[in-house]
Structure 1
Amino acid sequence: MSTQNQSLMKDFITVAIFHLPQETYILKTLLDRENIPHFFENETIVSVDPFASIALGGIRLKVHPNDTARVQALIDHLNNPLHIV
């Protein structure tokens, strides 16, 4: 990761916390499709050692503050997939 990307990502904030890597897979695909810059903090260590999730406080979805509304809309849609016609 370049120094410029690291400095930009330091401004990112946590918008959601997950306890299992499987919970992040679909969301990661949607965020990539929407071109929303993001990263999942602690994702790798929790993938290797699931009990680390408890010690580290879970897998944190980090995004830029300007993208929080879009990300929250995606999360809300995933949490409520039932659409009655």
Structure 2
Amino acid sequence: MAGVHIVIPWFLAIPLAVICAVWIYRDAKDRGMETADMWAVGMFLAFFIPPIIGAIIVYAFYLRKRKPRRGHPYAVPGE
């Protein structure tokens, strides 16, 4: 039975997983999500189980679950 194998050297995989986890943590914190730390840990772990595909699945799920950004009210100058 043939299968697809994705191999990423550890010296590339670990920094890439950390970058993705930091990005998802900061984005979740900016959006006021209380579960930002769990999203970051989930992204880091999913990056290795199965490689890359797990991270893509977590990222897609996160994009659906994250809170929308709220607009910033701008003052209209008086005339």
- Compute the TM-score of the two structures, normalised by the length of structure 1: 0.31
Higher strand fraction: Structure 1 or Structure 2?
1
Larger radius of gyration: 2
Alignment TM-score, normalising by the size of structure 2: 0.32
